[in-house]
Amino acid sequence: MNFLTIFARNLKQGPQTEAFPLGPAFTPERLRGRIEFNADHCEGCRICERVCPANAIRFAKTPDGMTFDCWHNTCVFCGNCEFYCPTDAIHQTNDWDLSHVNADKFDMVEHGLIPNQKCVECGATALNTAPVIKNAKPPLSAEEYTELRARCPKCRAKYLKNRKVPA
């Protein structure tokens, strides 16, 4: 009579087959998928370009600033870039559906631009990167952060050095 129990159980549980592509697919929260880049948080250290085993990430200097490109067709989803990024500018989403027709092959790229800016203090042209403030004590306030960000690297160092530290 064992087969009757199995039959009843199968009727109750339904099929084990995933609904995809006829329905939504189960996606784990922390699945390592497509790369996402946030230029606002980027420090411009280019460590992601260096640690990428497949050379999917490229930085290039252009007249507008520094561009970031991640080619999804070369990326192997290893997560090195996210692991080494000091400012969480690069993230792996859990988006896995990257299949595309061959005509779109060269559109599968994550673009980002770190624009140029004029330093408010000395007027030099420099990249508008996120400042390195990990070791700044006490932590910077929001106004200090915007002031620091508007400067070139040399003036940033001067600003941090001359910052008044409350006793």
The site for other proteins (CB under 8 A) is made up of 15-18, 20-22, 25, 31, 53-55, 71-78, 96-102, 105, 108
In the complex, what is the shortest distance from the CB of residue 24 to other proteins, in angstroms, rounded to a whole number?
10
In the complex, what is the shortest distance from the CB of residue 96 to other proteins, in angstroms, rounded to a whole number?
5
Residues 50 and 22: their CA atoms lie apart, in Å, by: 41
**C-beta pairs of 143-151 under 8 Å, 24+ apart in sequence:** 147/120, 150/117, 150/119, 150/120, 151/119, 151/120, 151/121, 151/126
In the complex, what is the shortest distance from the CB of residue 53 to other proteins, in angstroms, rounded to a whole number?
5
Measured over the CA atoms of residue 154, residue 158, residue 159 and residue 160, the dihedral's sign is: positive
Q: Closer CB to other proteins, residue 19 or residue 157?
A: 19
Q: Closer CB to other proteins, residue 14 or residue 138?
A: 14
Q: Closer CB to other proteins, residue 109 or residue 160?
A: 109
